[in-house]
Amino acid sequence: MSTRRDFLAAWTRSAALCALAPFPLAQFGPGASAGGRELGPHAGRRASAQRFPFELGVASGEPTADGVVLWTRLLDLPGDPRAATPVRWEVAADDRFRTVVRRGEAAALAELGHSVHAEVDGLDPARDYWYRFHAAGATSPVGRTRTAPAPGALPDRFDFVFVSCQHYERGWYTGFRHMAAESPALIVHLGDYIYESGPGIGDNLVRRHDAEEPRTLEAYRARYALYKRDPDLQAAHAAAPWVFTPDDHEVDNDWAGDHNTEQMTRESFLARRAAAFQALYEHFPLRRTSLPTGPDAQLYRRLDFGSLMRLHVLDTRQYRTLQPCGGRRQPPCPEQHAEGATILGVEQADWLLDGLDQSPARYNILANQVFMARLLEGDETLTLPMDKWDGYPADRTRLMTLLHDRRPSNPIVLTGDLHTNWVSDLKLDFDRPASPVVGTEFAGTSISSSGDGADTGPQGENAMSHNPHIKFFNAQRGYVRCRLTPERLRADFRVMPYVTRPGAPIVTRASYVVENGIPGAQET
């Protein structure tokens, strides 16, 4: 039987036959050149008059003990672009499809961008499967997925990674190629999958696009298609099931509820949000429960992985009130404590606290977009980032109080957004250094956003001098690899020396563990 370690070879073989260029994929991206030859989105396809509809690859996500969502989106379809296209899918117990265990057919509808979200069930828990699609006379590359452990099961080990922030123009996606080679059981993406900005300027851009800032459905679709043509990103999608939650750049920088930063009217912004949410749904393996209704989408949710882990996926954008004190970094101000100020909204906050209080899992993992611990910085004037949880202290205090009083098992927060690596103790009261530690926050760096990083720097030194609960800072690019066992969670900060040219190596910069029953992280 094939193993997970065989997957990357299987993906490369399938992709070479079906869609991608026959060059080392980590070295090239859309628009790159090799040997003087331009590699566009159709590069490497066998000469044929037949269009290939699977240019954006395949993906799976939202795993349960008996199923998973399979995704693809068809492009360049022949005939009437408004017509539905039948798509056949197969799930097999091996990567050569000798033993097909599930098959079915879905309709790729024009009103959903000809995307497919096949919700497959009837699978066995905690095992690998391989899948592919057939449509318009073509067969997709092969993807590997994995079901969650059975309810009540306590597996000896569960490996996953978390990642965020992949600005297309600022760096190559080499980290995704390394991630695929790790063969994780799950990939958790914490947002900023696309960036909505217009064309970048300057000499520090490694690849460019000429598209203006998207505001319509077609423009958001085009931005996702640009990003998803990257072969390293496609490899990571095909390597493991994903759980995704957006941050701000999937819609508009620093948006908050029905507020935006571009002086759009509320009605115009909500129309833009509706377009962005539909495009988001069309490009991820999400369940029908997350299908948007206009500008609204159900994106906070829970996934269980046996009795080992409950994953609480948060949405810190859709229900929040406007950032206080003028937003960005500001000195503390009374507006932070205004009645009704919230980052989660009342309903989601109740859902989160109830779910933590009633959770039977050994580890309660929060997939969270923006920094949760206090982050004072500055010299003569100390400031806080008002777009983070610092801008909404009432919600944070309520959560920290529940963690202290009710003691849900092993609460650990995973965070993206900052383009840097951090390890922090979560405190009952951040203003009192002696306050009890009630949990741990691991914040991961970006895949490419902010370009080449550095091992450390003045930001980290300044932050750690004002925030004794912060234990680690690093400003290189990469992702965080986690190994979960009944005894501990180990987080390895995997970093690369550069992303402004392809082919960077990856190393583990630091590792921290959270021991079962002991809040707070310790370096190993």
Q: 373-385, pLDDT tens digit by residue?
A: 999 999 999 999 9
Examine the pLDDT at 8 and tell me if it is beyond 80: no
Same domain, yes or no, for 179 and 248? yes
Mean of pLDDT values over 416-426: 98
Query: Does one domain contain both 21 and 140?
Result: yes
In the chain, the amino acid numbered 34 is A
Same domain, 343 and 491: yes
| Residue 179 domain-assigned (yes or no) | yes
**pLDDT of amino acid 202:** 81
Domain assignment present for 154: no
CA 176 from centre of chain: 12
268 belongs to a structural domain: yes
Q: Mark whether 449 and 424 lie in a shared domain.
A: yes
Q: Which amino acid appears at position 501 of this protein?
A: R
Residue 25 has pLDDT above 60, yes or no: no
Residue 206 within a domain: yes
Assess whether 179 and 83 both reside in one domain.
no
The confidence score (pLDDT) of residue 231 equals: 98
Residue 257 has pLDDT above 70, yes or no: yes
Please tell me the predicted confidence (pLDDT) of residue 201.
85
Identify the band that residue 296 occupies on the pLDDT scale cut at 50, 70 and 90.
Answer: very high
Task: Name the residue with higher pLDDT: 214 or 4.
Answer: 214
Region 346-375: what's the mean pLDDT?
Answer: 98
- In angstroms, the CA 214 to CA 426 distance is 37
Mean pLDDT of 174-178: 98
Q: 178: domain range?
A: 160-523
* Average pLDDT of the residues of the chain: 91
47 pLDDT above the threshold of 90: no
Q: How confident is the model at residue 43 (pLDDT cuts 50, 70, 90)?
A: very low
Which has more confidence, 330 or 78?
330
- Cα 207 to chain centroid, rounded: 22
477 within domain boundaries:
yes
Report the CATH number that the domain containing residue 17 is assigned in CATH.
2.60.40.380
Are the beta carbons of 521 and 487 closer than 8 angstroms? no
Model confidence over 230-244: pLDDT tens digits?
Answer: 999 999 999 999 999
- Whether residues 206 and 99 share a domain: the answer is no
Q: Is residue 152 part of a domain?
A: no
pLDDT at 51: 81
Mean pLDDT of 350-364: 98
Could you tell me the pLDDT band of residue 341, with boundaries at 50, 70 and 90?
A: very high
Domain boundary among 78, 113, 147: 147
Number of domains in the chain: 2
Domain CATH for 351:
3.60.21.70
Mean pLDDT, residues 88-92: 98
pLDDT band of residue 40 (cuts 50, 70, 90) is very low
Q: Which of 439, 442, 441 is nearest to 493 (CA)?
A: 442
Instruction: Give the pLDDT mean for 411-420.
Output: 98
Are both 14 and 120 inside the same structural domain?
yes
- The percent of residues in the chain predicted with pLDDT above 70, rounded, is 90
State the Cα–Cα distance between residues 433 and 136, nearest whole angstrom. 62
In a domain, residue 153? The reply is: no
Check whether residue 66 and residue 174 sit in a common domain.
no
- Is 408 within a domain? yes
pLDDT at 451 over 70: yes
Q: Is the pLDDT of residue 38 over 60?
A: no
Q: In whole angstroms, how large is the CA radius of gyration of the chain?
A: 22
- Same domain assignment for residues 135 and 217: no
| Most confident residue range from 201-205, 207-211, 227-231 | 227-231
Residues 115 and 180 in one domain: no
Distance CA 512, CA 364 (A): 17
Given 147, 176, 206, which residue is the final one in a domain?
A: 147
What does the pLDDT read at residue 50?
63
The angle formed by the CA atoms of residues 484, 489 and 494, to the nearest 5 degrees, is 90
Residues 176 and 63 in one domain: no
Is residue 455's pLDDT more than 80?
Answer: yes
Given 147, 171, 201, the domain boundary residue is: 147
Residues 174 and 138 in one domain: no
